[in-house]
Structures are given as structure tokens and as C-alpha cells.
Amino acid sequence: MKITFIGLGIMGSRMAANLLKSDVALTVYNRSEEPTKLLEQGGAKVAATIPEAVADADIVFSMLSTPEVVRTVFLGENGALMQMKKGAIWADCTTVNPSFSMEAKVMADQYGIHFLDTPVAGTKPHAENAELVFFVGGNAEKLISIQAYLDMMSKKVMHLGEVSKGASFKMLVNVMLAQSMLIFSETVLLGEKMGLDKDFLLNALPNLVVSAPFTKFKAEMIRANDYSVQFPLEWMYKDLHLATTTAYEHQQPLYLANLTKEVFAAATQNGMGRLDFAAIHQYLEEGK
């Protein structure tokens, strides 16, 4: 099958690289040229335009930054959907709100394209090592058609039901992730103010049964004061915004998630958006 991958950022470039390792016939497209160079050396065909990228593709994977960008690339005038051949599959790995996934499906249906929402759990190292987890919403038969390619990029694929259910579950995961990071950071800082050793706190707290397992890795970033990006803080802020928008659509209060969103918004405004989301600790520590 002919595969196209659109969006070669931190995650997408590594996901595409894992497809190449399995000798997939891969075409890639990215707005900027730089991320395509290594993939081209690995055997990927680099498309100069979106129509060129998708015209012959049996499956198109997209990993973009926001729903707005997905809308422009796929749903807009002369977007990818109207350039794809009928019967092709579009698997969107972007973290978007569930209602956007439903909108994408409606548009895809109009063009005879099969749509699956396929967001992932994991950050840069997981993408690099093919250890992502895919959350899939959509037709089970179409999932079977792309399963082998998902397996090349991941350690697990979860089919969660109809279109939008993958996006829905990914939203829940990131809401918990953001709040857990904020809680961990506040707890460490309070412990330090009470006279407890910082290294002790960073060693002991992540190993408690009440702690989220991922804090073990973020504790090392805090210890080294190194927030090299694995999952950008600005995208976590975006995901919290999508969650609170979705909560409004369902008339479901999100008291703590809304508060967390505002803290991440403030950190983004203070120039931390391109750091890892663990930099929320630095923001709190500096008391800005």
C-alpha cells in the first residue's frame, strides 16, 4: 500500500521514520523542508505540495499541531480531502476535540474517504522507539486495514468505538497528565519550603503509590533544570483548552482542569511554550 505522512514535527518525524524502518512505500509532506531531509535519505519520497502528497495514497496519516491546522490542510479550499482518491483512508493522529473529529468524518464521507481518529499517548522518546499507544475511533474493518502500520509505530493499539472516541479518550489522558504535573510540582515546592531536601523529594515522591508513574521521568528534568522539549507546554495548554471547550459542549463542569489551563496559559505567555510541559515547575518556582 502507498502511505503518506503529513506533519513532521517532534512526533510525526519519528513516527514516519519507524514506517521507513519497515520498508513502507512512504511519501512525506511538511510545511518546512528541514524535517524531510533525513526521511528522504531513509528512502521516503518528499512531496512538494499537498495534492502531490496524497493523490495516489491508500492511507494518509496526519500529525499536526491543532484542529485549526488540520482544517486548513484537509478541509479547506483545495485541501487534502478533495485531492485524495475515493476509498482511501485518512488516519488523523493529531490531538483534537471530539466534535472536530466528527466534523472531519462528515467531510471525509462527502469525498468517499474513510476517516479514523487515531491520536497517540506518548512523547518524543516513545515516538522514537515505536512505543506509542494509539487510541482509535472508527470503523473496525478500516482499522484492520491500517493495523500493521500502526503496529510499526507503537506498542499497543486500542479500538475505543466509533469516530471521535479515540479523540475523547486522548482528551481525558491529557487532562489527567496536565493536572498531575501541576500537583507534583506544587507538592515538591511546598516540601522544599518546609525544609525537606529537594533531591529526597524528587526521589521519594514519584515512587509513592499515590503518584503518577510519569513523574519519575519529569523529576529528573526538574533535578537537572533541563526542560528540553518532549511534549511542548504550549500544546498541553492547547489540549486543556480543547477539553474545557468540550466540557462546555456537554455542560460538564471542569473546575480543576480550567484552573490548570489558566496556569499553563500564564506559563505560555511568559515564554515557556516551547519548553517541555514539565517546565510548569519552573514557572511555579519562579513565582511569575
The predicted-structure confidence for 91-149, as pLDDT tens digits, reads as follows: 999 999 999 999 999 999 999 999 999 999 999 999 999 999 999 999 999 999 999 99
Residue 254 reports pLDDT greater than 90: yes
Residue-wise pLDDT for 140-160, tens only, equals 999 999 999 999 999 999 999
Averaged pLDDT for residues 236-244:
98
Q: Where are the domains of the chain?
A: 2-161, 168-286
Averaged pLDDT for residues 54-71:
97
Percent of the chain with pLDDT strictly greater than 70: 100
pLDDT of residue 78: 84
Domains 2-161 and 168-286 share a fold: no
Residue 67 reports pLDDT greater than 90: yes
pLDDT of residue 225: 97
Q: How far does the chain reach from its first CA to its final CA, in angstroms?
A: 52
Percent of the chain with pLDDT strictly greater than 90: 98
DSSP 11: T
DSSP 268: I
Residue 288 reports pLDDT greater than 80: no
Averaged pLDDT for residues 186-200:
98
Superfamily of domain 168-286, CATH level 4: N-(1-d-carboxylethyl)-l-norvaline Dehydrogenase; domain 2 (1.10.1040.10)
Q: Which residues are within 8 A (CB) of 120 and not within 5 positions of it... i.e. 6 or more apart?
A: 11, 15, 93, 126, 127, 132, 133, 134, 135, 154, 170
The answer to which of 77-81, 135-139, 163-167, 244-248 has the lowest mean pLDDT is: 77-81
Fold of 2-161: Rossmann fold (3.40.50)
Residue 21 reports pLDDT greater than 90: yes
- Measured from the Cβ of residue 101, the count of other Cβ atoms closer than 10 Å reads 28
Give dist(CA 227, CA 241) in Å, integer: 22
